[in-house]
Structure formats: C-alpha cells, structure tokens
Amino acid sequence: MVSNITTPSQGVSSLHQSLRYFPGKGQSKFCYELPATNGTTYLVRTTFRYGIYDGGSILKPTSFQLQIDTSNVALIKPDNSSIWESVIEVTMSAVAPQIYVCLAPTNPGTDVPFINAIELRELGPLMYPKARQGYMMITRYRYNFGSDHDLRHPDDKYDRLWRKYPRSNAPLSRLVSAPRGQNVAVETPYSRDEAPAAVMNTALTWPVNFIFPFNVTGGRNYVVLLWFAEMELTAQVQSRVFEVGIDENWQAPAIDILNVTKRIMYEAYEWGYGSIALSGTSTIAFRATTGSLLGPILNAMEVYEVSDPVQPRTDMQDVAAINAIKLYWPNLKTWTGDPCLALPYDWTSCSVDTDPRITMLKLDGYNLTGSIPTTTILKLPELTVLSLGNNSLNESVVPDLSALKQLQQLHLQNNNFSGVFPAWVTNLPNLQELFVEGNNFTGYVPQSLFNKTKYKFTYTPSDRLCTGSSPGNCTTTLGTPPVMPASSSMSSSTKMAIIIGTATGVLGLMLIGLIVCLWRCKRKLLHYSNSVSSRQLLKADPEAAFASSAKSQTMAYSFKEVKEATNNFQIQISEGSFGPVYKGKLSDGREVAVKRCRPCNKQGAIEFFDEVQTLARIHHRNLAALIGFCKDAQEQILLYEYLSNSDLWTHLHGDSGKHLPWSTRLSIALDVASAIEYLHTDCNPSIIHRDVQPRNILLTRNMTAKLVDFAFAKFTSEQDPTLQVYSVDVKGTAGYLDPEYAVSHHLSDKSDVYSFGVVLLELISGQEPIDKTASDRNPLLIEWTRPLLAEDDIKAVVDPSLGDKYNEDCMWKVAELGMMCVEPRPFNRPTMAEVVQELREAITLEGIAHPSLMTPLSPRSAQSSGPL
C-alpha cells in the first residue's frame, strides 16, 4: 500500500514524501527485484522515513530487517517521531541479473515494514574491489572536509552522498581550497575510487596533528579510505609529510603527497586500509613528521563496515522452477526475492548446502486451482516434501511424480482429484507419508501401501477402491479398511518362505552395518600415507579428492555437517585474517572452533590440501589441534579444538578482572614460548606465526596455554595493488608488530620473538602494549618499562595485583629477557630456543613445576599431546 507522509519537513526530498508499506499479510518478507548486470558493482541506497504516515497509530514501534540479496544488512526500528529517518547504503557486486531488496518483519502479521525510496547506482569497474571479493560494504559515513554543504549528483556522477564534516569537530583546523577555475584532477593513477572534484577542491589542514574517533560498532572489519590533494603553493617550497595512525599505531609509511604525484599540484591521491578491525573506541590520528614545515591535510574520508561473506544464492535451476510455479499459480505472485535466503518463503524449505536447494513445497491451503504443473515440479529433484492439500486442485489423472526419488511426504488430501488411484507412488523409494483422503479416486490401491512399517497412509474409504495381490486380482474393496489374511491360515511353505526371507534380511542388515562401521573407522583412522595418491587425484579432480580423503585424526566434513555443527554459523566467537571463527558442536559431542575462509583469501584446491596436510602433522601440547576440514566448490573451512576458558587478554584485562598469580603467568609464558619454538624449529617447512598476542593465547581449564592462528599467514592475502594500503589486520596486531616491518615489509622468526617479548612485559606489568588513557607517562609499554629497569626499579614495573608474591631474581630474569626480545634490531634478539631455555631457568628460580621440566625435552616429547 502507498501512503504520503503526513508531516513533511522542510528540505525533505520529494522522493521521500511518500512511502510504501506492507500491513497485516503475515508474510515472512516483501521483496523488490532491481535489474542488474552480473559482475557489475553497484551502490544500493534505501531510505526509511516514518513521517507519521499512519497518523501515529503505531503505538509500539515496528521492527523489520533490511535484506539485500542473501544478507541481513540492518535492523530498522523507527520511533514515532515525524523526523525519524534512516538511510542505508550498500556497495556490492551483482551475482545475477537482479538484486533483491527485501523487508522482513520481525513479527510477521504484527510488524509493518515500509520504505520510502530505493536507489540503484552503477559504479566504475575498478571501484571498491572489496565488494568484488564476496563482501558487502555498508556505508558508515562519507565525509567532505572543508565544505559547508552536502554533495551528491550532479557533483558526483555516481551519486554518492558526501556529508559536510562539522568544523566544530575540527578545532584549530584551517580551510584550504583550489583557486577559482582550478579543479583537482580526480581521474588519476593515484585515485581508484574517484572522489569527485567538488569534494577534492576543499580540504582542512591542521598545524601539527589532529585526532578524532571512528564512532563505529566494535568487533567488525572496516574499509577506511582517505583522499588528499596538495593545494597550497607553499608546499612546493616547504615540506608537508605526515603519518596516519589508528589506535596509536604509527607503523604505516609516512605520506608525502607531492612525492606521490611527481610534484604535480591539484591531483587526487587515495590512501587507506583495505581491511582493519576496529573497536568501539578506535580513533584515527594524523601527525606531521619531524622536519615537516606544514601540518597534515585531509580532503575526504569514507568508512565502510565489511559484511560477513555473502552466501551464494539458491540453485539457479531451483529458482527457475519456483518462478515458473509462481507464474502458474497467481496466488503466489506476491512472493519475490530468493526463495531460501536470507529467509525462505513461507511455503518453501531449503537445504543447508553451499548453494541451497529447495527441499519442501508446503502449499496447503493456498487456494490453488487447476492441475499440478508436473514438468516444473519435476525440476526440483531434491524435494523431500510436496504438500498440496486443502486446495481446489482437480485432475482426472494425477500426473506421475515418481522421478522425485528423494520424496518422503506427499500430501494431496482434500482436493478434487479423480480417476485412477496414483499407483506410481510405490516407485518412490523413500516415501513415508501419503495423504490422499478427501478426493474421488477409483481403482487399484497397491497392497504394499498397507504392509509398510512406520508408514502413514490415509485415504477415504470407498467401494470404488480395491486392493489385492495385483491390479488383475483386486479382490478386496476399500469401503472399510482392509483385513489382511491371518498368519494362522498360512501354509507351511509360506511360513518357511517368510522365515527364510526374514533371516536373509537380518543377515543382510548385519552385513550392511559391518560395512558402514568399517567405512566410518577407515574415515577416522586413514593416515597421510596416501597423500601422494591424493595429490595426484587433486590434479585430476580436486573435489573428488577432498571427498575421498580423510587424514589421520583430521576428518573431512561436508559443508552440511559444518552448518549443522554451527547451527548455520550462529555464534561467532572471533574474527581473524583468515575469516570469521564460529563455535560449533560435532555430532559426537565435541566442541570445535570453526574457521571459515573469506572468499578473497581462498586458495586453489591443491594449495588448500597442502595446507591441511601441513597443519594435520603439527602436534604440540601448546598448539590448538586441527580436528577437521571442509572443502567444496565454494568453501574452505578448518575445524580446531575449542577451548572454553577464554584467552589470556580476558584474564589480564577483561571486565571479569581475574588476577593471575605470577606462577601461572610464568607457566603460560613457557607454554607459549615452547609452541613458537616448535613452529620455528621442528616444523618442515617452518612456520612464522606473525600474530603472537594475548587474544591468540587460549587457556584450558587447568590454565595450560595453547597458541592459535599459527598458520593464518598462509591463508592471508589482502594487499590491494590498485590502492596504496597499509593493513594492520593482515600483518599482525598494533603494539605487537615488529617495527622492522615498517622498513623492510618482511616478517621473520625474529618478528615472533619481538611479539613474544611484548607479551612477556604484559605478563609482568599487567599493562597493555599501548595505553590510550596515559597522560603523564609514555603510552608505549616498551618505552615506559625501559627507563624504570635502567633505574633498577623492578617493583614499579610489576603488576600491583601481584603484591610481593614472586621471586625477585626470577622477575628480573624474565624482565630482562623481555627487553632482549624487543630489541629494535632483529639480530640482537635471542632465538626462541634461547628464550625457552631462559624461561626454564626462571621457573626453576621461582620453584614451580612445569610439564616441560618433568622429562628431558626433545622434539618428540614436545609433540606428544598428553592430558591437559
């Protein structure tokens, strides 16, 4: 239904003065189909403005989900204010000739979705590559610095909405702009996403530095894009070089605009972060470098939230069949969008495969008339339920649907079917329910329908129906339920035949059970001795190889099993460079951490197989064990053991405030050091962890530490050659990342040593590596610790919660070891083998027991995984 807003506000676009709303139908979703070109990148903008269109009759605010294609994008919850408005923008790549925009009421039949406008804008072929990597980019804001008004089309040919950045939020800033008649060139090799000239012609500059909060939802990944253009002639003589830092991480290379543009003024330069994890308190800061005579400058900025990987649409053949059914039965024409995702139609159910398949048509009571569209329904080969009861269907002969071999339930009751009973139902091998009552069938009903166990068969008794041993021997009418011959009247030969048949059946079942048992044992216990033949099979048929290869304790799981284990990826417990991590529970009761690879990180089948081989050979008591993997056409997934006692960061800094005693901290340090040493020296090829930090140190119930994400580097490739991007998310975590990387862009085993040294100092002090609240001391843990140790003031460094419950000689030894690990030059740092030896000596000084000190340590004993 269409309604006008009753209290339009001044300045509201005419496009938003009316809306369409969807009351009272009880439908799970209402969708629009926007024409698109497959593979093209689009901006989809939706506007919701309540405007009291219903006269304020909504006493309880409505609530509904905005869904685009197969993804939930935003929850819309308007208040009763006439000025309430929400504009949601998504940048995405079309995967079909149409884009679905759907509104799904939280409570169908009660909540009333509405929408004012949908705008679709085609973007350039090279713009926003993240959207072409299997993600949606949800606009959080797009700022124009230096302008006093918002801009969109015609200033921006792509109709992006650029909001003015409030000068009140930029104290000490100075406005600079291009001279009259001079536009900043935006179609340059340095500006892939083409910020418009009207935006680039103005900027703000600061004397030395400035900082402002992102104001985003924490725990997500974001794309952050920045635009600069040099417009001050003094910059040709004086230098303008500045750094950009997120959360006080200043390891990105300094920015010299004129150096990039080859000394050409008025040229746009785009710079940014291709994917970075932000918290709710994250900030971005700009500061002039030493020697720079001019302060930082900023023309424009975009911030996008990165969605979860976009799930593929329903199988194309199934969608075509559903569309044909909707055309055939006009009662269903109001249903649009994907029949399975993000919510299925009320009358469909779907599989949990990578490409969902239609498994149920539940069309009872939809006022359907005419005949069954047999040809179309037969194009849904995965149907397990076909329910057409309580309609007005009429056919003299029910068409043969026996080609639907997966069908388990066929409901045809209470229609106007007539003619011969559909005896072809006996050719459905999996059929368990057959409801045909309330029709006018005649003729032969196969006797086997009455003999099956655990089989539901309902019909209307009629003298025109009969049963018997064959259609030619239809001796029993079905005016009343049939009475089968009593067993006492059987001949001895018949009884013997039944006994022999029964015995044969039992033996057959036992044989089948034995085969299944052997197969399942083989699936669990096959070792990597067959890896050579598996690789040969991979080269010929990768998917077949994965289907047939289960490695040692590492099992191959289907995508369906993984979705069932995670309840359709319901509980996300973390996010890494490999992709999101979900909690799951296997059918045998084991809890697992499920790592689902982002589309942009996927490897070829052979490379992924090699990775699984490598990971499955890694066994160490302080490394999380690989339980299994999943590989199909669309997915690459790893399953690890799940540890429920949280991570080291939570125990050191979390809200629960658990204070770890020094003995436990020391034991954790040796656990982690032993794991890293194993990765460096005992694995072939050796593995550089690249992200040693407390969030990647998980703890068992008895506080044994296990390092996770020890191979994520091999799965990560997020650098974008079309944009100068420095991505902290890819190369470690701020505060723990080797500063040598900023110079060499190379990580080595000594980079892990540096990160571990920071963790050691964190265990000693209880301080995070960067203290954003510090105002009277150096916020960097390393630089705060160094002078205190130089003054022999170890007590000023130690976490106050430890009191005096530690051996001071041990504490000094560990503190000095930590400072050795964070030496600026890698060759001055110890190896992890030397670190492990030093920590063993420290534990001896402290007088505590540790499993690695019980027996002589060797590569073999390090790999054994004893009880935790």
- The C-alpha atoms of residue 582 and residue 573 are separated, in whole angstroms, by 5
Give the phi and the psi of residue 174 in degrees, each rounded to 5.
-130, 135
442 Cβ contact partners less than 8 Å away, ≥ 6 residues apart: 418, 419, 420, 421, 462, 464, 465
- The C-alpha atoms of residue 636 and residue 630 are separated, in whole angstroms, by 6
Antiparallel, parallel or unpaired: β 369-370 and 392-393: parallel
- Coil, strand or helix at 156: coil
- The C-alpha atoms of residue 506 and residue 499 are separated, in whole angstroms, by 11
- The C-alpha atoms of residue 161 and residue 479 are separated, in whole angstroms, by 74
Q: Which of 69, 111, 691, 752 is catalytic?
A: 691
- Coil, strand or helix at 59: coil
Of 91, 107, 78, the C-alpha closest to 19 is: 78
Q: How far apart, in Å, do the first and last CA atoms of the chain sit?
A: 63
In the structure encoding, which two tokens stand for residue 507, read together? 């033996």
- Crossing angle between the packed helical segments 605-616 and 531-540, to the nearest 10 degrees: 160
| CB atoms inside a 10 Å sphere around CB 257 | 23
Q: In terms of DSSP H, where are the helices of 345-479?
A: 374-377, 448-451
Please confirm, yes or no, whether 691 is among the known catalytic residues: yes
Angle among Cα 852, 857, 863 to the nearest 5 degrees reads: 85
- The C-alpha atoms of residue 41 and residue 91 are separated, in whole angstroms, by 7
Q: Where are the beta strands (DSSP E) in 320-461?
A: 348-350, 358-362, 369-370, 385-387, 392-393, 409-411, 418-420, 433-435, 440-444, 456-458
Angle among Cα 587, 588, 590 to the nearest 5 degrees reads: 100
DSSP per residue, 639-692 = EEE---S-BHHHHHHSTT-----HHHHHHHHHHHHHHHHIIIIISSS----S--
What per-residue string of b and e applies to 827-863 under the rule 16 or more CB within 10 Å gives b?
eebbebebbbebbbebbebbebebbbeeeebeeeebb
Give the phi and the psi of residue 202 in degrees, each rounded to 5.
-130, 155
Catalytic site residues? 691
